[in-house]
Homo-oligomer: A and B are copies of this chain.
Amino acid sequence: MSAPRQPVPLTALVEALPSLVPFVGPEAQERNRGRPFKARIGANENVFGPSPKAVEAMCAAAPEIWKYGDSDNHDLKAELARRHGVAPENIVVGEGIDGLFGYLARMMVEPGTPVVTSLGAYPTFNFHITGFGGRLHTVPFRNDHEDLAGLLDAARRDSARLMFLSNPDNPMGTWWRAQDIAGLINALPEKTLLCLDEAYCEFAPPEALAPLDAGNPQVLRFRTFSKAYGMAGARIAYAIGEARLIKSFDKIRNHFGVNRIAQVGALAALHDEAHLAHVIAEVAAARETITGIAAANGLEALGSGANFVAVDCGRDGDFARRVLQGLIERDVFVRMPGVAPLDRCIRVSAGRAFELEAFAAALPQALEHARA
């Protein structure tokens, strides 16, 4: 009899990584709880859904799913280029912003590479940076905004190769004006690439949108069909940047990695501007409703340029975590920031009437429970 088989070792880097999952999905929570949520307003999904034209196009494409998608994402890139006033060579389409962040980390990060982000910002970006051995330097939020001057200081001090910024930001929903972002870009140290995550930009006021300069090799802008276009489950997003940098993605990306139905759906979604306007209006109204529900409970909501609202529970993180727990026990799925002082808030995604009614009904009890 042969000797028992031993596990084959992984790379030292991967062996040392924690088996952490950045987020536990709502389905997993529902399985653990043994019952479904009444309101799914925790993952900043767009409950108002995709364009009916996108749905129609996706259904029409379903019987053709035996074909691989177009490895060039040609038609979608052509339309995106037209809209953004850039060349198709300035755009790379990928498997969601998460997928693109993974590729970016692989392109830029090796063990010890310094990367700057805000303390409490998007965990999946950090997941990929540490996954490639990068050294994360985190800068605290200032007045619930990502601290532009602080990020620049840290990038200079640490010779950062990458700087992460979200505008509007997640998890607070605050945003900077175009000229503030432009000032940051102008002041970037010369070997720092700005990874500008604009997943929520369609929900923000126009003055939050920094001008686009696709000739600048130090900036990559990330946009997605997951939020305003209501297609989170489709896994399709894109980055805009200087052509040489964009072409580098071809060295490592899965060329046939984008789902064919997603390609077709995204293109159809772009053409339904009326639906996009409808979604944006619904989200704006839902933000008002959430703010009102908070106020009715004596809580203050932060101003938001995204499809969610950070509601300040008025005490510390332990208190907010108890409020969150109370909401989840009452079948309302919400999330909250992971670090102080942001974690005095819970983060509530824009919902339809029935979802926000469930939130409004559960919040007073959750607060009472938390105070007890």
Contact = CB atoms under 8 A, between A and B. Distances in A.
Contact of A235 (B64, B108, B258): B258
A95 B99 CA distance: 10
A65 B230 contact: yes
A71 interface: yes
A131 B242 CA distance: 22
Find the residue from A19, A49, A255 having the highest chain B CB count within 10 A: A255
Interface string A125-143: 0000001000000000000
Given A95-B254, A131-B252, A251-B18, A66 B108 contact: no
Given A10-B108, A14-B107, A257 B66 contact: no
A77 interface: no
Interface in A216-243: 216-218, 226, 230-235, 242
A146 interface: no
B233 A191 contact: no
B14 A248 contact: yes
A233 B234 CA distance: 12
A233 B66 contact: yes
A345 to B, nearest CB: 22
A108 to B, nearest CB: 6
A159 to B, nearest CB: 12
B230 A257 contact: no
Interface in A60-75: 62-72, 74
Contacts of A70: 25, 27-28
A8 interface: yes
B14 A252 contact: yes
Contact of A19 (B64, B233, B251): B251
Interface of A: 2-3, 5-14, 17-25, 27-28, 31, 40, 43, 45-50, 55, 58-59, 62-72, 74, 95-96, 98-99, 102, 106-110, 113, 131, 161, 186, 190-193, 216-218, 226, 230-235, 242, 244-245, 247-248, 250-252, 254-262, 265
